[in-house]
C-alpha cells in the first residue's frame, strides 16, 4: 500500500506562495523560507510527484475575451438506456463552453459551470448541445449576475 504524502509546515509555506503566484521564482520562495533554492525545487517536485500540485495555469478573464454570461446548469440524467453515467459525462466534457462539471447529490446528477458570449449563446448551448443528449431529462439554469470572489484552497496550519 502506498504511503500518504505528509505535508509539513515548509510545504504549506511553499504552497501559500504558489497559490498567490505560480510563476514566483524558487529563489524568492527560498529566501522567505530560509532554505536553499534546491530545497524548494526538490519540495515542489515531491509535491508534484505525490499529486499535491497538479499543474499551473494562467487565469483568463472571461469578460475580457468576450464571455459575458456565466451560468450554472443542473442536469438530471436518466440512465434507463444502455448508456453509462460516464458516457453522458464524456458527452458533456466535449462542450467547450462548459469549464467545470461535478457529480452532485440532490435533484441533479451533474452540475456544470458554463461561460457564454451572451444569453442567446447560453440558450443555444442548452438547447442544441446539452438537451440534445437523450439521457438528460431536464436542466435547471442559474445565471451568475456577478462573481463575488474566486480563490484557491487556503493553505493553513491546523
Please state, in angstroms and as integers, the Cα–Cα distance from residue 63 to each residue in 16, 68, 69, 120, following that order. Answer: 27, 5, 8, 16
Q: Give dist(CA 128, CA 46) in Å, integer.
A: 45
Q: Give dist(CA 155, CA 152) in Å, integer.
A: 9
Query: What is the per-residue pLDDT for 26?
Result: 96
pLDDT of residue 9 exceeding 70, the answer is yes
Query: What is the per-residue pLDDT for 45?
Result: 96
pLDDT of residue 110 exceeding 90, the answer is yes
pLDDT of residue 158 exceeding 80, the answer is no
Q: Global pTM?
A: 0.81
CA 126 to chain centre: 21
pLDDT of residue 79 exceeding 90, the answer is no
Count Cβ neighbours within 10 Å for each residue of 36-68 and write b for 16 or more, e otherwise: eeebbeebbeebeeeeebeeeeeeeebeeeebe
77 φ/ψ angles, rounded to the nearest 5 degrees: -115, 130
Domain with CATH 1.10.10.10 in the chain: 9-49
pLDDT of residue 3 exceeding 80, the answer is no
pLDDT of residue 1 exceeding 50, the answer is no
* Fold (topology level) of 63-144: Alpha-Beta Plaits (3.30.70)
Query: What is the per-residue pLDDT for 42?
Result: 96
Q: Give dist(CA 142, CA 123) in Å, integer.
A: 12
Query: What is the per-residue pLDDT for 27?
Result: 96
Give the sign of the dihedral formed by CA 33, CA 36, CA 41, CA 45: negative
Domain with CATH 3.30.70.920 in the chain: 63-144
* Fold (topology level) of 9-49: Arc Repressor Mutant, subunit A (1.10.10)
Q: How confident is the model at residue 14 (pLDDT cuts 50, 70, 90)?
A: very high
pLDDT of residue 112 exceeding 90, the answer is yes
Cβ neighbours of 4 (radius 10 Å): 7
pLDDT of residue 82 exceeding 60, the answer is no
Mean of pLDDT values over 52-73: 93
Mean pLDDT of the chain: 91
Amino acid at each position: 500500500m502506498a504511503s500518504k504524502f505528509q505535508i509539513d509546515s515548509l510545504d504549506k509555506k511553499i504552497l501559500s506562495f504558489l497559490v498567490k503566484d505560480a510563476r514566483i521564482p524558487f529563489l524568492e520562495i527560498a529566501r522567505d523560507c530560509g532554505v536553499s533554492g534546491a530545497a524548494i525545487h526538490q519540495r515542489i517536485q515531491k509535491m508534484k510527484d505525490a499529486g499535491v500540485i497538479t499543474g499551473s495555469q494562467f487565469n483568463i478573464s472571461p469578460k475580457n475575451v468576450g464571455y459575458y454570461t456565466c451560468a450554472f446548469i443542473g442536469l438530471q440524467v436518466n440512465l434507463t438506456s444502455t448508456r453509462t453515467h460516464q458516457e453522458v459525462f464524456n458527452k458533456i466534457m466535449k462542450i467547450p463552453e462548459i469549464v467545470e462539471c461535478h457529480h452532485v447529490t440532490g435533484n441533479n446528477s451533474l452540475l456544470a459551470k458554463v461561460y457564454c458570449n451572451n444569453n442567446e449563446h447560453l440558450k443555444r448551448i442548452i438547447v442544441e448541445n446539452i438537451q440534445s443528449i437523450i439521457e438528460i431529462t431536464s436542466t435547471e439554469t442559474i445565471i451568475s449576475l456577478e462573481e463575488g470572489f474566486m480563490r484557491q484552497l487556503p493553505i493553513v496550519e491546523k
